[in-house]
Structure formats: structure tokens, C-alpha cells
Amino acid sequence: MDTIVYPGTFDPITNGHTDLVERAARIFDKVIVAVAVNLDKGGAFPIGTRVSLAREVLAHVENAEICSFDNLLVDFMHQKQATIILRGLRAVSDFEYEFQLASMNRHLAPEIETMFLTPAEQYAYISSSLVREISGLGGDVTPFVHRKVVTALCGRMN
């Protein structure tokens, strides 16, 4: 069974994330969305909320599993018996950081490969940090995230 792991903080999960999960789900038997504990305390939501939101937003993707992790990604990959990491590349500016991550993961676990997907054009400019900033300043984020995420962000502001 081919399993791919899509790690990230998903703080919050965006339409760009959803696009990549849906596309990966057509290629792989199983997509594990691995929600990382955010060591940077400046995020929007605690880990439990991020996992819950991802589960709600991705409920329609039958072969997706959503879980959290708080260890090295390569250790998590071994626990899940997965050998492919999914990473998104929105722009050339993402490449250097993603290349560095892929190289380090390959050094730590040579049997694990990284696969890159680019989001659909309409999602290429969306990032969780921009969504948090726009929402925090009272802007409309409905074009960028699922309605349940909008509701959660609004609840956070009140």
C-alpha cells in the first residue's frame, strides 16, 4: 500500500492544503496529514483544534488520515511505515527551504523520499500566516479557507 505523509502545522488549514491532499489522494492509497505541534507559540490554534479542523475540512477525502505528531518527521514516518513525504511548493521562494528540509530528511533517513506538488494557481499565494494576519486585522478570509475555519477564526477573535 502506497502511503504519503503531508506534514505541516496547518495553522490554520487552507484551501491550498486541501487542494494538495485531494490531489495526493488520487495518486496514493493513503494520505496521512500529519499536524505538527507548533513550537512557535505564535500560532492561531492549539494542536487539538488544528487536528479537528483538518478532520472536518478533509472529511470528504476517504483515504486521508489526520493525526498529530511531536517528534522528528523521519521517526513519525517510520512509525507510520511510510516512505514518501509530500511538500507543497507555492513559489520559487519556497524551494530553497524545502530543498534544505528534503536534504536533511534524506540524510537522517535515506530510504525516505520527498515529493513536491504545486498547488492549483488560484491557491499559489495563500499561506496560513497570511490567513492569520488578514483574519487578525478583521479582513475577509472566506476565499482562502473552508467555512469551518472561518468560523473558528471568528470565534478566536471574540
**Active site (catalytic) residues:** 17, 41, 90, 128
Nearest to 141 by CA among 150, 128, 133: 150
Distance CA 80, CA 64 (A): 13
Name 88's bridge partners.
117
Distance CA 141, CA 40 (A): 23
Distance CA 145, CA 17 (A): 9
For residues 71 and 36, the answer to whether their CB atoms sit within 8 Å is: no
Which segments within the chain are labelled E, that is strand? 3-8, 30-36, 64-69, 84-88, 113-117
